[in-house]
Amino acid sequence: MSSSSSLPAPAVRISLIAGRYLVFDPEGVAALRRDSNTCGTLVGTMPQQPTQNIFLGLPIELRPEEAQALVQRGRAHVVDDAAAHQVAMHNHSRKAYIETLRKTKQTAHKVVTERNAQRSAEHADKIAQGQRKAKNVESVPLDNVSLDGASPKTPSDAQLFAVTPTTTKELLNAKTDVVCGSPNVPEAPLARHLQYNGYYMTPGLRFGARYSVYPGDPLRFHAHYMANQYAWEEEIPILDVVEGGRLATAVKKAFLIGGEEACQPGPSSDEGNVRTYSIEWAGM
């Protein structure tokens, strides 16, 4: 397959937090999926239901080899998130962030006030219509009627209105980012090779392999391969071949093994000198 995009994609910010590679920005997540064949795994949960594990959201977590491949291709950069926040909190970014929160609070208060006023007016109109039907001539002041019967908002209520920030995006910028080097993880030439050639990968543990390999976006395609990586001179146990081939064939996939040729080191490139072999168990 050809590369998914011929145009260079902007570098995505990957946050390194406690040894995990996370992407919080929705636009960055979309760019990785669209331009770099990288889905990641949703790990975010709701504070009110921390035990739920069905409808997870942002951020996404990348495997170390995925982050390494993205950095080597120039598609992303890894940032020490804790250090970046420390830098940002000791310069002018902190004041700018507080001002942003203040503006967000004012905007949210304005929206809520307008919505409450509209609902109060609608409720008052219904009351007035009912009174006219009852031929009651008493007028009802619109300014003093609210949906729940309480008194209207006062200026002091606005001071109690608060917004809980869900992101520190406005606090951080390119100047405060403490960029790390390429992730220090074992080489993953197979993952880099498959990513470069337009394939998508997800963890393949449930199918007994390292990667589930898709010819396109996993939302549109089933996996075609179950893949394992081996060193070029590594001896592959025959049981690994039998188990992988039978299991992959049982779930209507091919078993893919691959490694980088150690005897012919080539120039540093996206694809590398990787050889792959597909195994199908024909006796099932």
Report CA-CA distances (Å) from 176 to 44, 77, 83, 88, 184: 25, 14, 9, 6, 22
The fraction of the chain above a pLDDT of 70, given in percent, is 79
Is 280 found in the same domain as 228?
yes
Q: pTM value?
A: 0.70
Residues 32 and 49 placed together within one structural domain of the fold: yes
The verdict on residue 154 lying in a domain is yes
Rounded CA gap, 159 and 151, in Å?
Answer: 17
> What is the predicted pLDDT for the residue at 78?
92
The more confident residue out of 53 and 33 is: 33
Average pLDDT over every residue of 38-53: 78
- What is the predicted pLDDT for the residue at 269? 53
Pair (77, 180) in one structural domain: yes
Residue-level pLDDT at 5: 42
> Do 126 and 16 reside in the same domain of the chain?
no
- The pLDDT value given to residue 155: 46
CATH of the domain at 223: 3.40.1350.10
Q: Is the pLDDT reported for residue 134 higher than 80?
A: no
Q: Which of 211, 214, 224, 225 is catalytic?
A: 214
226-253 residue pLDDT tens: 999 998 888 988 888 888 888 888 888 9
The whole-number pLDDT of residue 229 equals 92
Determine the average pLDDT of the residues in 258-269.
66
The question of whether 90 is a catalytic residue gets the answer no
Supply the range of the domain harboring residue 213: 187-284
Q: Does one domain contain both 265 and 207?
A: yes
Per the domain annotation, does 202 fall within a domain? yes
Catalytic, 199? Answer: no
Does 35 map to a domain?
Answer: yes
Q: Are both 137 and 203 inside the same structural domain?
A: no
Catalytic member of 77, 109, 193, 253: 253
For residue 167, being part of any structural domain is answered with no
Check residue 16 and give its pLDDT: 92
- Tokens representing residue 105 in the block: 């609070």
Residues 272 and 218 in one domain: yes
Confirm if 124 and 102 have CB atoms less than 8 A apart: no
Q: Decide which of 200 and 272 is more confident.
A: 200
Establish whether 196 is a catalytic residue. Answer: no
Q: What's the pLDDT at 33?
A: 93
Residue 166, domain member (yes or no):
no
- Residues 145 and 202 grouped into a single domain: no
Q: Please check whether residue 168 lies inside any domain of the structure.
A: no
**What is the CATH number for 7?**
3.40.1170.20
Are 111 and 230 members of one domain? no
User: Among 103, 110, 175, 222, which one carries the catalytic annotation?
Assistant: 222
Give yes or no: residues 191 and 260 share one domain.
yes
CA angle 232, 233, 235 (to 5 degrees): 110
Total number of domains in the chain: 3
Do 77 and 104 lie in one domain? The reply is no
- Look at residue 143 and tell me whether its pLDDT is greater than 70: no
Q: Is residue 81 part of a domain?
A: yes
On the question of pLDDT at 282 being above 60, the answer is: yes
**pLDDT, tens digit, 9 for 90 and up, residues 76-91:** 999 998 888 888 777 7
Verify that 59 and 180 share a domain, yes or no.
Answer: yes
Reported as a single tens digit per residue, the pLDDT across 184-227 is 776 788 988 998 899 999 988 888 889 999 999 999 999 999 99
